Amino acid sequence: MPTFKPIKQSRVSEEVTEQMKRSILVGYFKSGDKLPSERELSEQFKVSRVAVREALRVLENTGFLTTRQGVTGGTFVTDLTFEHLSNAFIDLFRAEKISIPELVQVRLLVEPEIAKQAALNIDQNYALRLKDALEVEGLPVRNITDDLDKKTAVHYILAEMCGNRFFEALERSLMALTRRVVLVVNPSEPFMHPAGMHRPIVDAVLSGNADSAAMEMEKHTIEFGENLIKMEQTYRDRRKQL
């Protein structure tokens, strides 16, 4: 067990939350690890089990922990993903606190640079993955989720290729939010861009032409962004009629 510090009664659960979070972030508790029981944690922290339970609830809601039921159940450390971040953004979108034009503006700042850096890091393995992703885009789609999976693969590969984990984190968050917005809006007509729309970007990346890759990505982001903005307007109009 790490050496947790006793906590004053003010802000008890918040302090427990912070100490637990730090123990996960520094790697004492790793993804998949089972946490000690509420009783053991309350003894370590010298606080009530109610305070521990509240701290665990907060950490679960923010994506650090998950609870499993049954004989082999308990509280386990999760592999941090961008799902909770996109959940927060989708709530802001529904509440009209953020808009699609703002999302598109951020994508225009981030994605051309990702494509540029990806072109500088192209190798045989990445080339094969990009070509495969383009080929998959041309396959028939079963539903909107399948369409999203096929049409976002190139973006995820480029984000990985760019060699900057912060850029990759931003792109994964932006793509997750875009995906959630599309699923929330649930357009009645075919929405996603047609197969091959990523080809000019991929061709530029494969050739190692960084400036061309950035330019083609900018074109794509603007064109696709226009579709997203139209989709948002349809969604807002539909909500006003309810």
Lowest-pLDDT choice from 46-50, 144-148, 152-156? 144-148
Residues 219, 115 contacting (CB under 8 angstroms): no
Residues 220, 158 contacting (CB under 8 angstroms): no
For 162, how many CA atoms within 13 A lie in the half-sphere containing its CB?
A: 24
Phi and psi angles of residue 46, each rounded to the nearest 5 degrees, phi first: 60, 45
Reported as a single tens digit per residue, the pLDDT across 160-214 is: 999 998 898 888 888 888 887 788 777 655 555 777 889 999 999 999 999 999 9
Whether the per-residue pLDDT at 9 is higher than 60: the answer is: no
Neighbours of 117 (CB within 10 A): 20
Q: For residues 138 and 199, give the distance between their C-alpha atoms in angstroms, rounded to a whole number.
A: 11
Reported as a single tens digit per residue, the pLDDT across 95-144 is: 888 888 998 999 999 999 999 999 999 999 999 999 999 999 989 888 88
Phi and psi angles of residue 34, each rounded to the nearest 5 degrees, phi first: -90, 130
User: Buried (b) or exposed (e) across 31-67, using 16+ Cβ within 10 A?
Assistant: eeeebeebeebbebbebeeebbebbbebbbeebbbee
Cβ partners under 8 Å of residue 206, min gap 6: 122, 127, 130, 131
Q: For residues 204 and 223, give the distance between their C-alpha atoms in angstroms, rounded to a whole number.
A: 18
* Amino acid at site 224: F
Looking up tokens 């080929």 gives 135
pTM for this entry:
0.70
Beta bridge partners of 34: 76
